[in-house]
Structure 1
Amino acid sequence: MASSALQGNNSKLLGLEVLRFISAMAVLFWHYQHFSFVADKAVDFAQNQQPLYGVFALFYNYGFYGVQVFWCISGFIFFWKYRTALADGAIGARKFFVLRFSRLYPLHFVTMVLVGLLQLVYFAQRGYYFVYQHNDLKHLILNLFLASHWGLQDGYSFNAPIWSISVEVLVYLIFFLTLRSVGRSAWVNGAVLLICAAAKWAGATSPVVDAAAYFYAGGLAAIAFRYLEGSKYLAHAKLVMLAFVALTPVAAYAGNYSREQFIPLFLLAYLPVLLFVAARDFPMPTKIQRLVEAAGNMTYSSYLVHFPIQLSLAIFCDWLNRPIPYYSVKFFGMFMGLTLVAAYFVYRWFELPAQDAIRRKFA
């Protein structure tokens, strides 16, 4: 977007908001298979028979990569908003912590408690938990401290989609410490990416490595856009970057990479360019702009409320003594519609008021 549009306190990177919403929807499609689970495994599940599979096959098959897109977008936004302020000391540790805590923790806490209570009901019905089985005291404590995926866990627990936020919290810490101690040079981003590459080469499996790589790659895109903003070379840079990314699949397949190797590498190269191109002004009617902003705002709430909704529907179907009709288009539409409506009102009536209250009191 143009500089004037980005500098306002209420400005939005509308292109990134669209990408955020698409990524959130991708995760919802990927997790739709939960309805076929018995305990922690899908039973008699045919992936290609899911509702409207011919239209949404990409989301059904690869929706879990929406998490990597989230990490990359976070990197872009954080480097855009906080890079200079943190490096110069304009925002201190307390304020940065309050901003992050107020954004993430209230909804996490409420959905964690809700899922814990609902899992007790489901366990009383079935004798096992729905999808995520490690709902004990140890994992409750880990979830309380947003540490559910720091390597101390035995598996996924409670409102498990929070795992990606748990990982990202550690990246926030790295982000803050490097800006305050090393500086804001783009070479720092390059160094972090090299360290992540070396760690993966050495066999590291921690998702923190992956999150840091995508976050700092997104940050590089923000730095490049800020540097070229207003320059006559901006359009040329976009064309060169897009041409480079267009060649990435050819190079990857020529190197005989497997799909599991190819997709993460491709996304790591492609996503920063996509964000670079999307971070521009898209003229649109005010009503459409508000709709895009609303869609972007409710991505976090949709990410955290969709599993409690799935669990509630599973309990209800069991109470009716009926199987979950997860191949039904009507059931699919009900789940998606219910999730999006709930996400919208949760953001307006809980997430945003709680965030504002915490910031007024502590920031």
Structure 2
Amino acid sequence: MGSRKTGNGVDVAANAAASSTKGRMVGIEMLRFFSAFAVLIWHYQHFFFRPETASIDLARSAQPLYALLHPFYDFGWLGVNVFWAISGFIFFNRYLSKIVARKVSGGLFFLNRFSRLYPLHIAMLIAVALLQAYYVRENAAFFIYPYNTPYDFFVNVIFASGWLTPYTDPFNGPVWSVSTEIVIYVAFFLLARFCRIGLVWTLLLMCASAAAGGWLIHLQVKGSASNIVFCAFYFFIGGAVHLIYERLRDVIEQHRGGTVVLCCLAYVALIAFCAVFGGTKYLAATVIAPVSIVLLHAIEPWIPERLAQPIANLGNTTYASYLIHFPLQLATVIVLQRLGMSSATLALNPWFLVAYLIVVFSLARTVFRVFEAPAQTFLRRRLAWIGGRSATNAAR
């Protein structure tokens, strides 16, 4: 069963689908999409869940198109680490200077986070609660995530599943990483407001969280504490990349080709290191996340305008795809059971995998346009008093 699932809490303006992509991080949107894709492939194993043993009984290599997709089947959960780094990069880019200059208040920062993350979260929480109630009645076991008590529901309602429960993944399990990131959002705002963090502060925070993470690994401590520490580490990696990029912007823009070559060499060095010394999955994520951010941000001017909006649209599906894919899996399994069919058998077919991915991202796109963006706009208008000014015009 998966131990890592991801999500991402990056703001998207309500009219993003129709707006110009000028000023948007199109390259970063690509990275967000591929990170979401990795998580979806990693969680594909859910279709092989057996309620009689409450486990997934399948060799990972038996999953469809394994030869092509094995990095995602084996390590797709690392998408969460990449998402955390992306969040750090974007938050430092969009918010840091404005918080330091007191152009973004605590109320406005909270409202932006709440309006972006909460509506879809609470809708999917209710959906999973209803679906799990039906599934457990028919199968005498919960689907994938067994922690579904009233307390677990309350913890999810207050968006704290990643740090108020030892198992972190009750109900709509993947939400744990967004919940964990909320803790870091608060820390980021307080540090920016009261400590005016810059590059030195950010590097120190990154090193401190890395040391704490290493200590927790040594002590074999898992759960809420380790999740928050690792989230902080990758978030501040992303922040450090932004601050360093800004300092080197002129050099990078004058030597984009050289930047691309250096990033590719970093990938090659990582592969060679892992081949020789074995490496670790966390090392891979620690290198891939910042290098990919730099690479895709650097080549953004080379991305044709005709591709910019479609890429931005794909990026807009990431939060919805993260929150809806587990409820969709659960609903699919229930429907197939009602039809007398086995998801474990059908999921071995590559066309089932293709259909699953198409449905998830298509539905995520619809959810973004029909529910996410309108709900975000509605809340920001109705609760604008919290931020002290119209939240619809606020920074992302």
The TM-score normalised by the length of structure 1 is 0.90
Q: In the alignment, what sits opposite 1:118? A: 131
Aligned counterpart for 1:17 among listed residues 18, 22, 29: 29
1:130-209 counterparts in 2 under 5 A?
Answer: 130-154=143-167, 156-203=169-216, 205=222, 206-209=226-229
Partner of 1:217: 237
1:204-244 Cα shifts (integer Å, max 9, x gaps): 54111111111100111111111222347863883656655
Could you say which residue in structure 1 is the equivalent of 2:290?
A: 272
| Residue pair 2:40, 2:325 contacting (<8 A) in 1 also | yes
Amino acid of the residue matched to residue 227 of structure 1?
Answer: R
Q: Secondary structure at the match of 2:255?
A: helix
Distance in 2 between the 1:38 and 1:313 partners?
15
Distance 1:107 1:233 in 2: 38
Q: Which residue of 2 aligns with 1:56?
A: 69
Q: Report the CA distance shift for 1:232/1:64 in structure 2 as closer, same or farther (over 3 A).
A: closer
Bigger drift between 182-191 and 73-82 goes to 182-191
Q: Take 2:252 and 2:89, find their aligned partners in 1: how far apart are those partners?
A: 22
Describe the superposition over 1:272-319 as per-residue Cα deviations: whole angstroms up to 9, x where unpaired: 122122113334444422210100001100111111110011101111
Per-residue CA deviations over 1:96-144 (Å, capped at 9, x if unaligned) read: 0001111111000000100100111111111111111111111101101
Change (3 A) 1:145 1:38: same
Is 2:82 the partner of 1:69?
yes
Say if 2:75 and 2:281, in contact at 8 Å, map to a contact too. no
Rate the CA distance shift 1:60–1:245 in 2: closer, same or farther, 3 A: closer
Is 1:361 aligned to residue 382 of structure 2?
yes
Instruction: Decide whether aligned partners of structure 1 residues 52 and 250 sit closer, same or farther in structure 2, where only a CA change above 3 A counts.
Output: closer
Cα distance change of structure 1 residues 230 and 41 upon mapping to structure 2, 3 Å threshold? same
**What corresponds to 2:312 in structure 1?**
293
- The aligned counterpart of 1:5 is none
Matches within 5 A, 1:64-103: 64-103=77-116
> Whole-Å Cα distance in 2 between the matches of residues 329 and 251 of structure 1?
33
Supply the distance in 2 between the matched residues of 1:249 and 1:118 (Cα, whole angstroms). Answer: 42
Classify 1:242/1:332 alpha carbon distance in 2 versus 1 (closer, same or farther; 3 Å): closer
CA RMSD, aligned part only? Answer: 2.2
The letter of the residue matching 2:338 is W
Q: TM-score with structure 2 length normalisation? A: 0.83
> Could you tell me how far 1:190 is from its partner in structure 2?
1.0
Q: Secondary structure at the match of 1:202?
A: helix
Query: Which residue of structure 2 aligns with residue 338 of structure 1?
Result: 359
Correspondence 1:263 to 2:294 = no
More displaced stretch, 196-205 vs 139-148: 196-205
- Structure 1 residue 154 displacement after superposition: 3.9
Q: Which residue is 2:50 aligned to?
A: 38
In structure 2, relative to structure 1, the CA distance for the partners of 1:151 and 1:144 (3 Å cut) is closer
Once structures 1 and 2 are overlaid, which stretch shifts more, 321-330 or 87-96?
321-330
Aligned to 1:3: none
Residues 241, 294 of structure 2: 8 Å contact kept? yes
- Say if 1:86 and 1:92, in contact at 8 Å, map to a contact too: yes
Of 16-25 and 184-193, deviating more is 184-193
Q: CA deviation at 1:152?
A: 2.4
Distance in 2 between residues matched to 1:165 and 1:174, nearest whole Å: 14
What are the residue-to-residue correspondences of 1:242-261 with 2, within 5 Å? 243=265, 246-250=268-272, 256=277, 259=279
CA separation of 1:154/1:218 partners in 2, compared to 1, >3 Å: closer, same or farther?
Answer: closer
Q: Percent identity?
A: 32
Counterpart AA for 1:214 = Y
Residue 349 of structure 1 is aligned with which of 364, 370, 384? 370
The one-letter amino acid of 2:98's match is: A
Task: Give the gaps of 5 or more residues in structure 1.
Answer: 1-7
CA contact (8 A) 1:139 1:153 kept: no
Aligned length: 351
Aligned to 1:320: 339
Q: Distance in 2 between matches of 1:158 and 1:201?
A: 29
SS of residue paired to 2:375: helix
Is 1:227 aligned with 2:247? yes
Distance 1:282 1:234, change over 3 A: closer
Instruction: Give the Å deviation of 1:178.
Output: 0.8
CA distance in 2, matches of 1:271, 1:54: 24
Say if 1:130 and 1:311, in contact at 8 Å, map to a contact too: yes
Against the structure 1 CA distance between its residues 346 and 244, is the aligned structure 2 distance closer, same or farther, given a 3 Å change threshold?
closer
